[in-house]
């Protein structure tokens, strides 16, 4: 499918109807029912979602998810150039899965001043188009700190998009400042905040949240904060942390809640599922998801979230190898060149941080897909032309004796 616009097919359900089905989908009644619902303008509900999570036909689920991805975006895979700058690791909460937070007196605790924040961006300012900033719930910072931060960042780097704050940070800032969430977000938007990254959804079932992140915003609060952002024309992403203590049904409920929210407020751009990384955290009962399970979650996300356009392979968490499989299993987006990242790496991720656009494009082309650079809000796209490798590619060759 080479004639798909860079922004994707509007009429993708019609395209999907025409695509030939691989045997692994054809012979599976559940997948055919899911496909029929989607092509007829419907969606896959919680019960069918649970069946997908319990199915042994992972290759069929991946194949169906890939067909849906192809019908929407053809061979295109999206990425951007971004930098992660975490404002502080000091946090008043202590979520059990979190290896990043520190108490204020911990030796490794830090809280960036505005100058330090700008300093972190400076070496990358010519090559990135987005800074992704989240952090802990600082005990004393109010909305004033973030207003000053975003204003200074916009004044210094006017072309860099600021994607910042999880829903729980927004809630914390609003209560620390004694103002509503709506006022908090509108003041921050006026100061330069462009979009929200979507982190902190974990699993949107309160009994699960109570076990893994007690004290964080409730499921309804997470959705409401995003709804308020959408109402202010602030685009957001949404996420899922899986592989802690949730059941398969709770994963399906999570996806369904996001889908329902999107029907109401329509501002989610991208869904980012990532598995729990257990290093250094306090959740001994959790398990590291297998590669199959990661691929299954990404594929089912694509099948159930028919109204959220983009599904991300979060390379910082799952690594480049699994990410490249995910791109053939429903994901259409891969996180960018990410020049610095702490949260996943504190938790045990060993994904490389120094990929440049060319290297990321090579990962995409190596699986016969087409790299497309995008901006944060998916309104500007450029087909990425990879530069030739300076030293050629070193293939292993047999040595003569």
The footprint of ligand SF4 (CB under 6 A) covers 91, 93-95, 98, 100-101, 136-137, 168, 213, 216
Instruction: State the minimum distance, in angstroms, from the CB of residue 172 to ligand SF4.
Output: 8
Instruction: State the minimum distance, in angstroms, from the CB of residue 135 to ligand SF4.
Output: 7
Name the nearest CA neighbour of 303 among 17, 18, 49. Answer: 49
Instruction: Give whichever of 89 and 329 is closer to ligand SF4, judged by the CB atom.
Output: 89
Given a contact cutoff of 8 angstroms between Cβ atoms, the answer to whether 281 and 98 are in contact is yes
Instruction: Give whichever of 88 and 324 is closer to ligand SF4, judged by the CB atom.
Output: 88
207: its two tokens: 């009994």
Entry field: residues in the chain: 401
Instruction: Give whichever of 109 and 152 is closer to ligand SF4, judged by the CB atom.
Output: 109
Cβ-Cβ contacts under 8 Å for 307 (sequence gap 6 or more): 43, 259, 262, 263
Distance CA 134, CA 131 (A): 10
Instruction: State the minimum distance, in angstroms, from the CB of residue 113 to ligand SF4.
Output: 19
Instruction: State the minimum distance, in angstroms, from the CB of residue 217 to ligand SF4.
Output: 9
Instruction: State the minimum distance, in angstroms, from the CB of residue 287 to ligand SF4.
Output: 19
Given a contact cutoff of 8 angstroms between Cβ atoms, the answer to whether 294 and 341 are in contact is no
DSSP H helical ranges for 192-247: 206-212, 219-231
Name the nearest CA neighbour of 238 among 283, 204, 285, 194. Answer: 204
Distance CA 294, CA 316 (A): 14
Instruction: Give whichever of 81 and 217 is closer to ligand SF4, judged by the CB atom.
Output: 217
Could you tell me which residues are beta bridge partners of residue 162?
A: 131
Instruction: Give whichever of 304 and 343 is closer to ligand SF4, judged by the CB atom.
Output: 343
Could you tell me which residues are beta bridge partners of residue 84?
A: 132
Instruction: State the minimum distance, in angstroms, from the CB of residue 19 to ligand SF4.
Output: 40
Instruction: State the minimum distance, in angstroms, from the CB of residue 376 to ligand SF4.
Output: 22
For residue 152, how many C-alpha atoms fall within 13 Å in the half-sphere facing its CB?
A: 15
Instruction: Give whichever of 93 and 109 is closer to ligand SF4, judged by the CB atom.
Output: 93
Instruction: State the minimum distance, in angstroms, from the CB of residue 298 to ligand SF4.
Output: 22
Given a contact cutoff of 8 angstroms between Cβ atoms, the answer to whether 300 and 61 are in contact is yes
Instruction: State the minimum distance, in angstroms, from the CB of residue 394 to ligand SF4.
Output: 41
Given a contact cutoff of 8 angstroms between Cβ atoms, the answer to whether 135 and 120 are in contact is no
Instruction: Give whichever of 93 and 114 is closer to ligand SF4, judged by the CB atom.
Output: 93
Instruction: Give whichever of 254 and 310 is closer to ligand SF4, judged by the CB atom.
Output: 254
Distance CA 272, CA 315 (A): 10
Instruction: State the minimum distance, in angstroms, from the CB of residue 55 to ligand SF4.
Output: 32
Please give the torsion angle defined by the CA atoms of residues 120, 124, 126 and 129, in that order, rounded to the nearest 10 degrees.
-90
Given a contact cutoff of 8 angstroms between Cβ atoms, the answer to whether 341 and 316 are in contact is yes
Cβ-Cβ contacts under 8 Å for 312 (sequence gap 6 or more): 237, 270, 271, 272, 273, 331, 333, 334, 335
Instruction: Give whichever of 74 and 135 is closer to ligand SF4, judged by the CB atom.
Output: 135
Instruction: Give whichever of 60 and 135 is closer to ligand SF4, judged by the CB atom.
Output: 135
Distance CA 191, CA 210 (A): 34
């Amino acid at each position: 499918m080479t004639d798909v616009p860079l922004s994707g097919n509007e009429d993708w359900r019609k395209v999907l109807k025409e695509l030939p089905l691989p045997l692994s989908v054809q012979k599976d009644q559940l997948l055919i029912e899911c496909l029929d619902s989607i092509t007829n303008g419907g969606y896959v509900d919680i019960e069918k979602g649970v069946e997908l999570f319990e199915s042994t036909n992972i290759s069929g689920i991946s194949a169906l998810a890939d067909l849906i991805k192809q019908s929407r975006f053809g061979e295109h895979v999206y990425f951007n150039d971004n930098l992660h700058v975490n404002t502080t690791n000091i946090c008043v909460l202590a979520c059990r899965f979190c290896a990043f937070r520190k108490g204020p007196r911990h030796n490794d605790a830090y809280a960036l001043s505005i100058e330090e924040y700008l300093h972190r961006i400076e070496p990358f300012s010519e090559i990135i188009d987005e800074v992704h900033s989240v952090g802990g719930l600082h005990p004393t910072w109010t909305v004033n700190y973030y207003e000053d931060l975003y204003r200074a960042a916009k004044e210094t780097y006017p072309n860099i998009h600021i994607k910042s704050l999880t829903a729980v940070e927004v809630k914390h800032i609003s209560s620390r400042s004694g103002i509503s969430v709506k006022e908090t977000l509108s003041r921050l938007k006026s100061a330069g905040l462009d979009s929200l990254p979507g982190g902190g959804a974990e699993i949107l079932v309160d009994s699960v949240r109570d076990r893994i992140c007690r004290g964080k915003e409730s499921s309804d609060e997470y959705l409401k904060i995003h709804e308020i952002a959408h109402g202010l024309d602030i685009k957001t992403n949404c996420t899922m942390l899986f592989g802690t203590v949730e059941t398969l049904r709770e994963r399906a409920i999570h996806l369904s809640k996001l889908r329902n929210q999107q029907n109401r407020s329509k501002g989610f751009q991208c869904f980012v599922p990532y598995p729990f990384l257990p290093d250094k955290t306090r959740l001994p009962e959790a398990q590291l998801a297998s590669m199959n399970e990661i691929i299954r979650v990404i594929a089912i996300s694509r099948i159930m979230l028919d109204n959220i356009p983009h599904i991300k392979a979060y390379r910082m968490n799952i690594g480049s190898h699994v990410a490249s499989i995910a791109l053939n299993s429903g994901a259409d987006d891969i996180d960018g060149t990410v020049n610095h990242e702490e949260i996943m790496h504190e938790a045990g991720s060993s994904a490389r941080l120094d990929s440049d656009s060319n290297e990321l494009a090579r990962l995409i082309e190596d699986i016969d897909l087409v790299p497309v650079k995008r901006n944060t809000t998916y309104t500007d796209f450029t087909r990425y032309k990879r530069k030739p490798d300076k030293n050629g590619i070193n293939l292993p060759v047999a040595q003569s004796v």
